[in-house]
Amino acid sequence: MKKLESMEQFEQFKNNGKHIFMFSADWCPDCRVIEPILPEVEAKYQEYTFVYVDRDQFIDLCVQLEVFGIPSFIGFKEGQETGRFVSKDRKTQEEIENFIDGLN
């Protein structure tokens, strides 16, 4: 999983190709719970580039995208949002995969 380094990089990712942005933070216990399953999810959906967004480092982006709970996921394809799985609830591998399956 790539780690978002700048807003410029976000715009570049968002506007080119198929990306899933995962909003998370080091202190988030529900984010730590899903960490072990993420490599398997990434391997299953290789048509997407997965990007880790540190909520604390990119709080303005979270506000802009209305991400008020973590872990959360937003899909983009060629600059268009294709779907969002945004809540403060703990997520299961099945829920994450169902979200990805439902992206346009």
Torsions phi, psi of 79, nearest 5? Answer: 90, -10
Residue 104 has pLDDT above 80, yes or no: no
Considering the entire predicted model, what is its pTM?
0.94
Q: What is the pLDDT of residue 69?
A: 93
- Convert the pLDDT of each residue in 68-98 to its tens digit: 999 999 999 999 999 999 988 889 999 999 9
- Convert the pLDDT of each residue in 6-56 to its tens digit: 999 999 999 999 999 999 999 999 999 999 999 999 999 999 999 999 999
Torsions phi, psi of 57, nearest 5? Answer: -75, -30
Q: What is the pLDDT of residue 4?
A: 98
Report, as residue numbers or ranges, the catalytic residues.
28, 31
